[in-house]
Structure 1
Amino acid sequence: MHTLGEIEQIKQLKARYLRLVDEKRWDEWADVFTEDFHGRLGDVPEVELNSRDEFIAFIRRAIGAAVTVHHGHMPEIEVVGPEKARGIWAMYDYVKFVGPEGDLELDGYGHYHEEYRKCEDGRWRISSLRLTRIIGMVEQLERKLPGPAIPASRDASGRQELARS
């Protein structure tokens, strides 16, 4: 297949990823990942997930009860072999938790850094994902949680640590 055709298939894959996570269609969402998928989510603290099932369970627990909107924009996709590609997507996500004490709404901006693999069935799947945030959930939680905020500090690796009184 022509490289542009491969890139279009990867764009369609990411579109399914974004739609299915917002629709909370977890079984179908699992099909966008390889079984040996590896994920890293860059909010504080960074979360590393070492399989497709572990990743889906984590995301389901984190946002399964929330209203979400995920967008991926301006992909930079490079096909690096007949069965391997990588890409970077600008991203935006909106998460709304509804609770008895009021709603909590969060907006996130950043980038998906992904690797893709063409599987035996001829379909591309996401084999690894690292989400980095420019404006993330921690900063917003600091502004929205009750009580005075204590400035966050950074650990030795540069990761931000959330502190509240």
Structure 2
Amino acid sequence: MNDAANSLYEANPADAYPVIEWIKRTGASVDETLAAWKDGKLAELPVGRAWDVVRIPTFEGWEVVRQLCALRLTLGPVLHTQLGVEVLVPVGSAEDWDCPGFTVLVVGDTIDVPHPAVVPPHTQNARSWISAPRGEPTLTDAADLYGAYLSATATMTRTSRPGR
């Protein structure tokens, strides 16, 4: 383990192992990821090995998260970024979706992530975890996400009509 990993472990021993395991599952370098975080930078992680990413426009994304939480459905890691809300889902579970308004990132894509401790109201380079990665490999179920997205967009369409 390098100095970055050691400092993470010393700062918060209970959280070090799960964070390191979460990084390893992506195939990224643990040392490089921890070093980036130690230097106050975002870490670039590959998509398509441990998870894929569904990027939803910000307004709709927050409504989707709200609905998933209200229904008490499993919510895995979720990022708030300048590009929208990014939800981590099982690999291959969303690649054939064709709904307008969101983007599916798959193998070959990357995302830039802050340390899992960066949660609202804090941000790092305009990124913050809405739901931070935890030790267990919990991901948002793609079918639940899809249903919440359709419901959120339908709800927003109904409430944004004139006269309502």
Query: TM-score with structure 2 length normalisation?
Result: 0.27
Structure 1 or 2: larger helix share?
Answer: 2
